[in-house]
Amino acid sequence: MKVMVTGSDGYIGTGVVSRLLEAGNDVVALGLDPCGIKSGHLEEHIGDFSSYQFDGEAPDVLLHLAWRDGFRHNEYSHIDDLPKHFHFISRAIDAGVTRVAVMGTMHEVGYHEGAVTEDTPCNPTTPYGIAKNALRELTAFLCERGGATMQWLRGFYLVSNDGRGSSIFSKLVEASKSGSTTFPLTSGKNKCDFLLYEEFCDQVVAAVEQSQVNGIINICSGIGVGLGEYVEEFVRDNDLHLDLEYGKYPDRPYDSPAIWGDNTKIRKIMTKRQ
């Protein structure tokens, strides 16, 4: 297949592009910087995705990963950038793209307890969640109007130990490298759905390489684990020598006490792939 990937130089983008190429796909990569991958099957365009002009043959799939300030949930940039995402996806469909896959987030759902299915009502409580949820609805509208198929890849909590990104796990690695012996934390009682970076990228690629399972697809483990429990295991497994200071930060009021993704769809996709 020929897959166009926006945000190809980003945290998720580099891993996804690498796996798409390893699987034998042609990739058109759009990023603010080079993704650092060399391949005869990779075509790179450097710059903001919103300025890209669709000329020639359209890709089989648009995988839209690009997003600014993803870890800063209350930034107004999420709302400011929403029209750019809408118009870009609209131009892609007008140019002949017949399948659009977009990276979503569990923050679209808002406060919720239990498993998140594709039918779970969304009541986002932050600009990040509101903007992503709006783009999901707008993408569905554009795909229906243009006769394209939508895959909304709703990501949960991504975990890696390489220090990249802005998650709590990257901060743990940074703290250990800087010589800190303690790490401030919330109560750690919230249960979340954690997925290792490699598995996360594999699930994204598996979803876009097939066209039978569509709509909202949770990129997740399907299991809720306590934040404190998971962080303790992460610290131990990565030999970080950090003592966790629970209660140093208040729990965020918009975080659900227990939330995880229903993994029925992604399990079906991954099983067929084997």
Would you please indicate which residues are annotated as catalytic (active-site) residues? 128
Dist. CA 37–CA 51, nearest whole Å: 22
Q: Which of these, 12, 2, 20, 137, lies nearest to 67 by C-alpha position?
A: 12
Determine what percent of the chain falls in helix, strand and coil, rounding each to the nearest 5: 35, 25, 40
Q: Which of these, 134, 28, 35, lies nearest to 79 by C-alpha position?
A: 134
* Tokens standing for residue 193: 């759905």
Tell me whether strands 225-226 and 191-192 are parallel, antiparallel or unpaired. antiparallel
Q: Which of these, 118, 92, 71, lies nearest to 28 by C-alpha position?
A: 92
The secondary element (H helix, E strand) that includes residue 2 is: strand 2-6
